[in-house]
């Protein structure tokens, strides 16, 4: 069932990307470029995250967790691109560019740290997975902490900006799309909190009740639907 859901999301993302890419090429602007990058990243990232696909990638490449690291990288690109789009919509380009550049640099540093920790994990604990179940491995815990911290920073900003812009936009397609996006970002934030609690539970030998799978699925979809609603009007 999970594989089918991932596949469906990838197909929908591919259709949307095929629609947005020609527009971005014919009528380029920073906001449209950002949402096109986010859509393409969503499509590729969720396809790689499909359990069937990720297992094949890891097995063929002979590197455990490779698909997960790649998918997490695309997740960071999605969030960064989404925030870039909002900044370019809200501010003059000359004001938005420095802020977007800072976020790109921060994202690159965070992902570089994640890749480094993955490689160290492979060297010291090759059978460990980059999941909370292996959080007792210090490098896995550090990897997840960086990923969740980056995601929290982006989702808080996206939710805040979308909700504020939705109030300004009035009753329109744009407003509806922004509100759906804000809800999706809140789901993403709840996912991070849930994962953090689960991470702490592993260290404290407590097994919390996890709703992370439900939240991440619905959070990703809500976030994505919000952006598509805003653009496919």
pLDDT at 181: 80
- The backbone torsions φ and ψ at residue 62, rounded to the nearest 5 degrees and listed phi first, read 70, 25
| pTM (global) more than 0.85 | no
Distance CA 51, CA 228 (A): 25
What is the structure's pLDDT at 169?
Answer: 65
Percent of the chain with pLDDT over 90: 53
d(CA 3, CA 19): 24
Average pLDDT of the residues in 79-95? 89
| Helices of type H across the chain | 2-26, 30-49, 51-61, 66-90, 93-124, 138-169, 173-203, 212-231
Domain boundaries, the chain: 2-231
pLDDT value for 1: 65
Q: Is 2-231 a domain of CATH 3.30.460?
A: no
Dihedral sign for Cα atoms in the order 43, 44, 45, 50? positive
Q: How confident is the model at residue 2 (pLDDT cuts 50, 70, 90)?
A: confident
pLDDT in tens, 100-121: 999 999 999 999 999 999 999 9
Residues 168-178 have pLDDT tens digits of 666 667 777 77
Per-residue confidence (pLDDT) for residue 208, from 0 to 100: 55
The pLDDT, as a whole number, for residue 222 is: 44
pLDDT digits (tens, 9 = 90+) for 178-208: 788 888 888 878 877 878 777 777 777 766 5
> Which residue in 177, 28, 161, 176 sits closest to 93, CA to CA?
28
Q: What is the mean pLDDT of the chain?
A: 84
CA 182/CA 86 separation, integer angstroms: 12
Q: How confident is the model at residue 220 (pLDDT cuts 50, 70, 90)?
A: very low
Percent of the chain whose predicted confidence (pLDDT) is above 70: 85
Answer whether residue 156 shows pLDDT above 50: yes
Q: What is the pLDDT of residues 15-37, one digit of tens each?
A: 999 999 999 999 999 999 999 99
Quick check: 188 and 153 in contact, CB under 8 A?
no
Helices 2-26 and 212-231 cross at an angle (nearest 10°) of 30
Looking at residues 142-165, what average pLDDT do you find?
A: 88
Which residue in 148, 118, 120, 113 sits closest to 130, CA to CA?
118
Distance CA 27, CA 21 (A): 10
pLDDT of residue 133: 82
């Amino acid at each position: 069932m999970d594989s089918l859901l991932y596949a469906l999301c990838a197909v929908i993302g591919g259709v949307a990307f095929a629609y947005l890419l020609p527009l971005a090429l014919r009528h380029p602007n920073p906001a449209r470029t950002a949402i096109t990058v986010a859509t393409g990243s969503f499509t590729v990232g969720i396809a790689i995250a499909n359990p069937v696909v990720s297992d094949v990638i890891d097995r063929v490449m002979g590197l455990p967790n490779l698909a997960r690291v790649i998918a997490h990288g695309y997740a960071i690109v999605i969030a960064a691109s989404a925030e870039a789009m909002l900044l370019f919509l809200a501010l003059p380009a000359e004001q938005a560019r420095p802020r977007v550049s800072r976020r790109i640099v921060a994202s690159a540093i965070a992902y570089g740290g994640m890749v480094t920790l993955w490689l160290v994990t492979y060297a010291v604990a090759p059978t460990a997975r980059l999941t909370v179940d292996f959080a007792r491995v210090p490098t896995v815990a550090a990897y997840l902490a960086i990923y969740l911290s980056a995601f929290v920073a982006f989702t808080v900003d996206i939710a805040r900006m979308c909700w504020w812009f939705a109030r300004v936009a009035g009753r329109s397609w744009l407003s509806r799309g922004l509100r759906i996006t804000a809800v999706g970002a809140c789901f993403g934030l709840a996912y991070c909190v849930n994962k953090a609690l689960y991470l702490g539970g592993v260290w404290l030998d407590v097994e919390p009740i996890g709703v992370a799978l439900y939240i991440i699925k619905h959070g990703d979809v809500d976030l994505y639907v919000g952006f598509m609603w805003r653009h496919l009007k």
